[in-house]
A = this chain, B = another copy of it.
Amino acid sequence: METGIEPIGVVRGHRDARRDDDWDTDVSTIEIDQRFPPEATAGLDDFSHVEVVFRFHGVSDDQVTTDARHPRNNPDWPKVGIFAQRASKRPNRLGVTVCRLLSVDGRTIRVQGLDAIDGTPVLDVKPVMAEFLPRGELRQPAWSSDLMRGYWSTDG
């Protein structure tokens, strides 16, 4: 039998509303659900970074984009399809972010630079390995670099 997808934990942080920018200094905690033993995170602290799969909760079905739109509704940027952007109002509302691992204590994982607000359901935590980074040279359009300019700013 293969069951559905359920949260394995939750983000505890100090932002309770989504904001576009300034995420890099944010420290938050991932609390892994009590149904997992503390050993579920054994050895994780040998990694410097984790990849967190989470749900953009609080986005209702009728807010989800399925076609093309201007990122952040900015008409200076081209209309691009929802699968060509990382906006939260997307089918399945899945977020995937790499952040720094600060400490691990059993089911409690402290991270820095996770762009998820307090109460965010966490679906998975994976260690970041160099071998899973992009292979070959990276290319991306100018609008995406513009959009990301303040995202990890430390002015938050």
Using a CB–CB distance below 8 Å, which chain A residues touch chain B? 1-6, 8, 24, 32, 35-37, 39-44, 46-49, 51, 53, 57-61, 66-68, 78-86, 90-94, 96-98, 100, 113, 123-141, 144-145, 148, 151-152
B53 engages A96 (CB within 8 Å): yes
User: Mind listing 8 A-B residue pairs with CB under 8 Å?
Assistant: A6-B92, A24-B135, A43-B84, A46-B140, A84-B127, A98-B132, A98-B134, A129-B145
Q: How many copies does the complex hold?
A: 2
Which residue of the partner chain, among B83, B131, B141, contacts A41 with CB atoms under 8 Å?
A: B83
Contacts of A78 in B (CB 8 A): 43
A68 engages B40 (CB within 8 Å): yes
Q: Tell me, in angstroms, the Cα distance from A2 to B90 when the chains sit together.
A: 12
Contacts of A96 in B (CB 8 A): 51, 53, 96, 124, 126
A68 engages B43 (CB within 8 Å): yes
Most buried by B among A4, A66, A68, A81: A81
Which residue of the partner chain, among B3, B57, B80, B134, contacts A42 with CB atoms under 8 Å?
A: B80
B131 engages A152 (CB within 8 Å): yes
Closest B residue to A24 by CB, please name it.
B135
Contacts of A39 in B (CB 8 A): 67-68, 81
Closest B residue to A30 by CB, please name it.
B83
Taking A8-B92, A48-B139, A98-B133 as known contacts, 13 extra A-B pairs with beta carbons closer than 8 A to each other, sorted by chain A number, are A4-B4, A5-B94, A42-B84, A44-B80, A47-B140, A49-B136, A53-B96, A86-B127, A92-B123, A130-B145, A131-B144, A131-B145, A132-B148
